[in-house]
Structure 1
């Protein structure tokens, strides 16, 4: 029997809660049995269920990982960039959550519950589900949910009743939005509002997402202030130097420069230390610490890195990287944003090159969106330099490109809605 329609939140929100829960339970039962349900689940839920089935998550009983110890929990809180925005999240959401019989939950990028506040009765109910401080609520542990699923797809997600993959969570409704660090595009975690099934309100997800965006804006303001502080320290130092040099913060944002054009940001390797390093965009540099950043002094007669290998790691569901190996300066690794991971993966599949219009078609299904593609690849070339050629865009022929893929096709860049990536996931299915 063919599905006649696809569910959406608007339709679910207009239904009686019990009726909606029964409908979703029937949809889930059919999906787990390999049958065609009379209505299709929402795509974000269907794709998550597929990942759970491939990952071996038990749909009938919940699995609870080891809770973080008190010391480890406090250390994660202390070192998390989220601690800076917690007062704002509390002010915006806790009173709303309490009044609506919800709780606010804030998790880090690993899905670990770092903060949890709200209605006392709901907190006790959450304890019975293992929804506790220090618990791991990533998708691979507890299935489709309002924390782990936004971490994977990197966009707001509402998971209602039987949309949860694990049956013991069906009495809950969860609405989570990822928080992205505007300074480097890293996924910091998720802010989530959760509660019993009868407390669902369709506007809650929009509220949670708006608050997450405000939190990101607060981080952006803090970044500008810190960069100004670094600039005041670095400017006198650079004024005394000969040759090319640049002062950057710990995320590579430029505070001051001398002897070379200004660039908003340089990509830095994962591990930065005083001494010498190689950057594809600058070559070999001497590295000196500054308060809140680094001073990079560019070698005027650098030895080029004879790159022999580029390793693109897209095996993880939330983190991706590119590593350059070879040459006397050793290796270099850079963590990728979701968009750059998509583009480099697509280019790795087209070793003879891909035009801007071809990549636009791959990414958006629209070959006319070349401006976006060119802008993003210009940013990629800031850290890969000549290792990414253009006209057409490609990796040089003499560079060995290796791609580390996930074990299961459904986990290939699971956040991506690019037509070519979706097709690659389908083509790799057994």
Structure 2
């Protein structure tokens, strides 16, 4: 059913039809029309997780101090002007509000029409509120965070009955450097304010915000490069300069590496850095100077990798072995690829992975580009032709308690087939 077209012509009728669909689905009766697939999948997750469709559960609000602390820590603070300029002018006229939540679903900013803000208070749509999907049901903040794509939720497409008077359209905001989820921006209002173009509008502004984050990243690397140039000019040995997150600003007498996986608690002095070995670490304004120690064999030892896929929105790979231990957060695509390699220990060709992920074995260029990025931080533990984990690497995969919750964002055919019967690894 095309909700946007139906609602554009008759909002009241659309809301009534959706209410009938929701009631039928929850009671197990045949629905008059099928719900949209993204909504149906969300409802299935809610039924499995035990969210009560008839009772509005609200977690404790964050304190004002905690909201402010999260605001100051969030990269989204840098793109608020872009979001406000793109969304607030029209939102206020159209009786909408703009809401920005962090990666944990907590509402950090909320602006727009004053009467709508008061109505939002009655729904618990307040600063510091927890709007994760598995807490308050299908909604325009929590659902886009799970599926990692823009979603509009209209009237009774909300799983919890009390939210059926509302309509919202949300788009995920991701870190353009590595695909990590930063939060969600949402435009919401009473159901009669719904417009067919709202979702595309919100998605476009979200992409503008991500482009601004990319610009900020490049500008910061340029500034760090200017600081680093005279320092590197005085050095004889191999060295590179990275920002606080490990992104490379400049190199000297060594191959360029786009990003270095830094230990979580990096400090000045001799330190072992994955993929570089023993380095002398020195602080710079905005980053680190990493000077390679005298060439020596890399410490050997049995390597262990733990791929943690238990959470709905956050996946990590942890490495331990003779060279030390470190953990890295994974983008959705890298989580898919590493899981597939863990399942297929004998290895997968680029064509195999293209079929696994896209259902199209010809998309090898995209797969090779992604695997090249993966090998930048797992190069010592991955082999290629075919792509596989090294034989002496022990790989453990931590899966969700419910196999249906495995990588819920993923539309990869192979992940879909494994979901529900995911093997223990």
Q: Does TM-score exceed 0.5, indicating one fold? A: yes
Match of 1:129 among 123, 128, 149: 123
Q: Can you give the 5+ residue segments of structure 2 that lack an aligned partner in the other structure?
A: none
Aligned residue number for residue 340 of structure 2: 346
Cα distance in 1 for partners of 2:378, 2:270 equals 18
Aligned residue number for residue 291 of structure 1: 285
Q: In 2 relative to 1, CA 146–14 (structure 1 residues): closer, same or farther, beyond 3 Å?
A: same
2:377 equivalent to 1:386: no
Task: Please give the residue correspondences for 1:245-324 in structure 2 after superposition, counting only pairs within 5 Å.
Answer: 245-299=239-293, 300-324=295-319
Cα distance in 2 for partners of 1:285, 1:262 equals 16
Task: Please give the residue correspondences for 1:34-73 in structure 2 after superposition, counting only pairs within 5 Å.
Answer: 34-73=28-67
Task: Please give the residue correspondences for 1:5-404 in structure 2 after superposition, counting only pairs within 5 Å.
Answer: 7-299=1-293, 300-327=295-322, 329-404=323-398
Displacement of 1:84 in angstroms is 1.2
Displacement of 1:277 in angstroms is 4.1
Q: In 2 relative to 1, CA 231–307 (structure 1 residues): closer, same or farther, beyond 3 Å?
A: farther
Cα distance in 1 for partners of 2:422, 2:224 equals 48
Deviations 1:11-37 (A, max 9, x none): 434452122112212222222223442
Cα distance in 1 for partners of 2:36, 2:52 equals 21
Q: In 2 relative to 1, CA 58–376 (structure 1 residues): closer, same or farther, beyond 3 Å?
A: same
Alpha-carbon RMSD across the aligned residues, in angstroms, is 1.7
Q: In 2 relative to 1, CA 16–276 (structure 1 residues): closer, same or farther, beyond 3 Å?
A: farther
SS of 1:170's partner is helix
Cα distance in 1 for partners of 2:234, 2:45 equals 56
Displacement of 1:302 in angstroms is 4.2
Cα distance in 2 for partners of 1:308, 1:277 equals 19
Q: In 2 relative to 1, CA 161–10 (structure 1 residues): closer, same or farther, beyond 3 Å?
A: closer
Displacement of 1:281 in angstroms is 2.5
Deviations 1:84-130 (A, max 9, x none): 11122122211211100111111111111111111111111111111
Q: Contact conserved, 1:347 with 1:394, CA < 8 A, in 2?
A: yes
Q: Contact conserved, 2:133 with 2:139, CA < 8 A, in 1?
A: yes
SS of 1:427's partner is coil
Q: In 2 relative to 1, CA 279–391 (structure 1 residues): closer, same or farther, beyond 3 Å?
A: farther
Cα distance in 2 for partners of 1:410, 1:143 equals 17
Cα distance in 1 for partners of 2:112, 2:9 equals 27
SS of 2:328's partner is strand
SS of 1:380's partner is helix
Match of 2:419 among 399, 416, 425: 425
Deviations 1:162-198 (A, max 9, x none): 1111010001000011111223322111111000010
Moved more, 299-308 or 105-114: 299-308
Deviations 1:383-412 (A, max 9, x none): 011201111111122211000111122321
Q: Contact conserved, 1:244 with 1:258, CA < 8 A, in 2?
A: yes
Q: TM-score, normalised by structure 2?
A: 0.95
Displacement of 1:284 in angstroms is 2.9
Aligned residue number for residue 4 of structure 1: none
Q: Contact conserved, 1:313 with 1:403, CA < 8 A, in 2?
A: yes
Deviations 1:238-297 (A, max 9, x none): 222232211011222211101111222223344433344444422233322211111112
Q: In 2 relative to 1, CA 294–319 (structure 1 residues): closer, same or farther, beyond 3 Å?
A: same
